């Protein structure tokens, strides 16, 4: 199951430490409030699962299933949504949980989708921000884990052709095709 790896970019203990710190920040910002976490499938489930275990707030979770990749490493513009029941977020503090900001198309789509439901507040929590990903039209990462170079990575929820999501670290795969 382990892919050919060029480099481990972020190991398991670095991930754990940073996610615990992010959870502390989130606990502080929403102290005394309830929070709805919206996780963007499939990539962010591993992050969501670790993050929510560190939170002391009352949280509800919901999912948005988006796809913006063809299944390999090539990006095609446009985001496709596979409809799932959407949690009730009107009048509630809502936090979008995303694995990575790359082109930003997924987060921008999710942002608009949530905003249309009139949440009490809307913020984003992004584990990885790729270099160059922050630009106009892309929602900013309010809570952010790591800034990383603009390279293709796998692990901790992120896939290459649907594989390697279960790796407990983030790695640069050695893909020569
Ligand atoms: P976007 O380009 O910011 O819309 O990112 C879309 C989605 O593509 C992310 O939620 C990830 O699931 C996936 N993605 C982006 N960059 C990578 C990568 O380096 N490896 C694997 N998946 C990625
Ligand atoms: Mg993917």
pLDDT in tens, 10-27: 999 999 999 999 999 999
Average pLDDT in the 126-152 region? 95
**For residue 29, how many other CB atoms are within 10 A of its CB?**
16
H helix intervals, the chain: 12-29, 45-54, 105-115
Active site amino acids: 102
Position 71 scores a pLDDT of 47
pLDDT at 2 over 90: no
The residue length of the chain stands at 177
Residue 175 reports pLDDT greater than 90: no
Ligand 1 lining (C-beta closer than 6 Å) = 40, 43, 68-69, 75, 98-107, 152-154, 158-159
77 pLDDT more than 80: no
What pLDDT score does 98 carry?
98
Closest approach atom of ligand 1 to CA 102: 3
Q: Which residues surround ligand 2, an ion (CB under 5 A)?
A: 69, 159
Q: How confident is the model at residue 131 (pLDDT cuts 50, 70, 90)?
A: very high
At 30 the pLDDT is 98
Q: Is the pLDDT of residue 176 over 90?
A: no
**Distance (Å, whole) CA 83 – CA 100:** 21
Question: With 90 as the cut, is the pLDDT of residue 74 above it?
Answer: no
Res. 78 pLDDT band, cuts 50 70 90: confident
Q: What angle do CA 140, 129, 76 make, to 5 degrees?
A: 90
125: how many CB neighbours lie within 10 A of its CB? 25
The predicted model gives 159-165 an average pLDDT of 95
Whole-number Å distance, alpha carbon 96 to ligand 2 midpoint, is 17
- The ligand with the least distance to the CA atom of 41 is 1
Question: Smallest Cα–Cα separation from 48: which of 19, 21, 26?
Answer: 19
Q: Are 61 and 85 in contact (CB under 8 A)?
A: no
**Average pLDDT of the chain?**
93
163 forms bridges with which residues in the sheet? 160
Give pLDDT, residue 177.
Answer: 58
Conformation bin of residue 102: beta by default, left when phi > 0, alpha when psi is -120 to 50: alpha
Tell me which of 69, 107, 141, 160 to substitute to probe ligand 1's pocket, judged by most ligand atoms within 8 Å of the beta carbon. Answer: 69
Q: Measure 32 CA to ligand 2 centroid, in angstroms.
A: 34
Nearest-CA residue for atom 23 of ligand 1: 158
pLDDT at 69: 58
């Amino acid at each position: 199951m382990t892919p050919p790896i060029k480099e481990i970019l972020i190991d398991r203990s670095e991930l754990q430490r940073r996610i615990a710190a992010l959870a502390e920040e989130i606990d502080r910002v929403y102290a005394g409030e309830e929070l709805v976490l919206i996780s963007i499938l499939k990539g962010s489930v591993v992050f969501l699962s670790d993050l929510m275990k560190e939170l002391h707030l009352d949280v509800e979770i919901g999912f948005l299933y988006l796809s913006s990749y063809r299944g390999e490493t090539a990006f095609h513009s446009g985001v496709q949504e596979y409809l799932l029941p959407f949690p009730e977020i009107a009048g509630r503090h809502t936090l979008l949980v995303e694995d990575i900001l790359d082109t930003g198309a997924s987060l921008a789509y999710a942002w608009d989708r949530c905003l249309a439901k009139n949440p009490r507040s809307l913020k984003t929590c992004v584990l990885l921000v790729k270099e160059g990903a922050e630009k106009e039209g892309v929602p900013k990462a309010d809570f952010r884990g790591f800034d990383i170079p603009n390279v293709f990575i796998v692990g901790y929820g992120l896939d290459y052709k649907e594989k390697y999501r279960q790796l407990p670290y983030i790695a640069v795969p050695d893909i020569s095709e």
